[in-house]
Structure 1
Amino acid sequence: MTRDPLHGRGARTNASGRYERFAREEFDDGWANEPVEKLETIVTPELAKTIISTNQSPDISFDQSINPYRGCEHGCIYCYARPNHAYVGLSPGLDFETKLFVKANAAELLEREFAKPSYRPRTIMLGGVTDIYQPIERGYGVTRALLEVMERWRHPVALITKSQLVMRDIDILARLAERGLAKAAISVTSLDRRISRVMEPRAAAPHRRIEAIRALTEAGVPATVMVAPVVPAINDREIEAILEECAKAGASAAGYVVLRLPLEIKDLFREWLAQHFPDRQTRVMTIVRQMRGGRDYDPEWSKRQKGEGPYAKLIADRFATACRRLGLDKPRLALDHTQFRRPPDYGDQGDLFAAS
């Protein structure tokens, strides 16, 4: 039996991005049984010009963020960041999870930003459109370098991941958290290993993520569990079980997002459903459209995260009830912005002479 060359990948195809002049489309040329080469991950270092991104979205809990990588090897089929790969002439499909970019100068740029006289500290979210602890972080270490800068300048930092690799940096995170300068969110989408494997093929197994929550909280780092996304007829029945397991591990708060299918993701997701859940694809998409006003997606800020209609209300009610029962309904933790200061060893010789 020939091994699937896409084993361990989320997307099934590599359709052209929406900005490409020519569209690529797969078709059966009669050689379907010929062996296909396994896809390898290609990482390209790049020198970024800026490092802090800002947003004004009222339904996002942070207004500035840093993403040390572009693309994500975790390959989560639902990832709302996939369409961003189209901006660099690549496909939101397989390219997103196999052609990655690392911002090699991220820590240097962040230190320069902090050093500007005009800079005013506000919590920076690490992650958002990439996983900061995806597999390539083991070799490149950009996330750890950023955390080291945060600690040197005593800057508040939040992070989100679905990787147990966050445990590697507990030493820094614990010291920051002791000063009220750090918090973490761990995404736990399913406790079912089979669902997790096909939906998030290169992310950590569910029990590893729960171990990460336990390790963080035992070290004094406040941890939130994110049940994101809630996918109709796939993982929606697990909401209460996920919250219960994470509360036992020490999570102090929780959040959720229902499935979002903007731009190219809707077609990629349909292909994924046909491959892995052919018996449920009609039901899944029917409920999705019920939540999105009859469409695959509604981008309105007030609706895109939670949806609307009876199913969306049911999910919201179940989530709120479980959070109250488990003590996960605490208000969002605010970090301290008052400790930010220039490190004693930062600056040129003029600064040193002035200090003496």
Structure 2
Amino acid sequence: MAYAGHRIDPERRRGRGATINPGGRFEAEQRVLEDDGWGTLGELPAFKTEVSIEKPRTIITRNDSPDISFDRSINPYRGCEHGCVYCFARPSHAYLGLSPGLDFESKLTAKPDAAILLEKELSAPSYQPRTIAIGTNTDAYQPIEKKLRIMRSILEVLAKFNHPVGIVTKSALVQRDIDILAPMAVKGLAKVAISLTTLDPKTARTMEPRAASPAKRLETIRALSEAGIPVTVLVAPIIPAINEHEIERILDAAKAAGAREAGYVLLRLPLEVKDLVQDWLLTHHPDKLRHVVSLIRSTRGGKDYDPAWGQRQVGSGPYAWMIGRRFEMAAERLGFNATRLRLRNDLFLKPEKEKAQLSLF
């Protein structure tokens, strides 16, 4: 069930979410740490954040998935220092030849030319505007954004073009960009979703160690709302027997802070995420491991994960149905989702290029 041979010493992974660092599924070899009798494992350095530069040719990613509300997105970074153990984006790190475990949260790539590429793509004669989603894979406001400011440069381009944007984050750093987002929101061009998994700081610290604390996220909802920026709260993911008892409390707190809409996602365990979450449970909640796994499988047709469209976000079966009804009843009681905000596409405007100076004549 768990990768005990891959488990990393707590001192080496202090401040990280994953407890293991298994090789990616495309690797020809798997390496397991083994003490050779000389005590050398104790001399290994702690995992430090490393950032590599990526130079993509395009920055807007397209999708045609029928169960998500957007068809295009931007990911300024690969990997995420927040270290959320449950992150469904972790398996993508295997494409880089890295581990979806601790490598995912410590070996990152950044795209510093994102704003330049975005301006070029938005300026194409054939481009048709629709809401760009940011933060749906890895968080654009993770800690390295404070220094690199790639997300801010992207927002500056979107504001210049009057292009709609929807942001998902669990970081308080989004408050830094209120000066851009608030004027966009007045035009109906911006909204922000804050992912609030738990109100318990102890649970948050082990499950999503470098994300903003629950109190900071509520503060962020309030700050954005008071600035006139529409805010959605996402109870995501709901983990059976770990945070499901908090559904109503999270919605109550978010509503009081100013959130207008609400959504939820049931825990997803694609590929390597299954082993990461199970080993995390074994480390932090050993008495609940079998119970949690059993409940998860009851919502996925007896499997650890069902990727079917229409099912992967909310699950199926009686237990998943109960969670969905609890969420809906609490959201309705609090007045969430009375109306759904649709961002505007009709204000899109390509800035005039400077007229080229005539030459020769």
TM-score range, shorter chain: over 0.9
**Alignment correspondent of 2:336:** 328
Match of 2:125 in 1: 117
The answer for the alignment partner of 2:169 in structure 1 is 161
Alpha-carbon separation, structure 1, partners of 2:236 and 2:299: 16
Query: Partner of 1:17 in structure 2?
Result: 24
| CA-CA distance at 1:88 after TM superposition | 1.1
Q: 2:78 maps to what in 1?
A: 70
What does residue 104 of structure 1 align with? 112
Percent of counterpart pairs with the same letter? 55
Asked if structure 2 preserves the Cα contact closer than 8 Å seen for 1:320 and 1:329, the reply is: no
SS of the aligned residue for 2:176 comes to helix
In structure 2, C-alpha distance between the alignment counterparts of 1:243 and 1:91, rounded to whole Å: 35
AA aligned to 1:209 is R
1:332 CA drift (Å): 2.9
Which of 318, 340, 347 is the matching residue for 1:339? 347
Contact 2:53 2:112 in 1 (8 A): yes
**Judging changes above 3 Å, is the alpha-carbon distance between structure 1 residues 27 and 308 closer, same or farther for their aligned structure 2 residues?**
farther
1:189-268 pair list within 5 angstroms = 189-268=197-276
The answer (yes or no) to whether the contact 2:300–2:306 under 8 Å persists in 1 is yes
Instruction: Give the unaligned 5+ runs of structure 1.
Output: none
Question: What does the per-residue CA deviation read over 1:86-129, in whole Å, with 9 as the maximum and x for residues that have no partner?
Answer: 11111101110000000010000000001100000000001111
Task: Provide the rounded CA distance (Å) in 1 between the counterparts of 2:337 and 2:35.
Answer: 52
2:143 aligned with 1:144, yes or no?
no
Residue 271 of structure 1 aligns with which residue? 279
* Gaps in structure 2 of 5+ consecutive residues: 1-8
Q: CA deviation at 1:309?
A: 1.0
Deviation at 1:69, TM superposition (A): 0.4
Of residues 174, 185, 188, the one that matches 2:196 is 188
2:287 matches 1:304: no
| Deviation, structure 1 residue 28 | 5.2
1:101 match: secondary structure? strand
Cα deviation digits, residues 155-201 of structure 1 (max 9, x gap): 00110000000000001000000000000000000000011110001
Corresponding residue SS for 2:287: coil
- Residues 123, 155 of structure 1: 8 Å contact kept: yes
- Residue by residue, what CA displacement relative to the aligned partner does 1:16-46 show, whole Å, maximum 9, x if unpaired? 1111121223345554873442110000112
2:35 touches 2:41 (CA, 8 Å); kept in 1?
A: no
Task: Identify the range of structure 1 (42-51 vs 176-185) with the bigger mean alpha-carbon deviation.
Answer: 42-51
Q: Quick one: which amino acid aligns to residue 200 of structure 1? A: E
What amino acid does structure 1 have at the position aligned with 2:22? A
Q: What is the CA-CA distance between 1:83 and the residue it aligns to?
A: 0.4
Q: Give, in whole Å, the separation in 2 of the partners of 1:133 and 1:178.
A: 22
Alpha-carbon RMSD across the aligned residues, in angstroms, is 1.5
Residue 95 of structure 2 is aligned to residue 92 of structure 1? no
Picking from 12, 23, 26, the partner of 2:33 is: 26
1:59 pairs with 59, 67, 79, which one? 67
Alignment partner, residue 289 of structure 1: 297
Residues 92 and 264 of structure 1 are in contact (CA less than 8 Å); yes or no, is this contact kept in structure 2? yes
Tell me the TM-score normalised to structure 1 length: 0.95
Task: Give me the TM-score of the superposition, normalised by structure 2.
Answer: 0.94
Contact 1:157 1:181 in 2 (8 A): yes
Q: 1:156 to 1:36 in 2, by over 3 A?
A: same
- The aligned length equals 349
Mapped partners of 1:22, 1:77: distance in 2: 24
* Partner residue in 1 for 2:3: none
1 CA distance for matches of 2:335 and 2:46? 46
Write the distance in 2 (CA, Å) between the matches of 1:248 and 1:48: 42
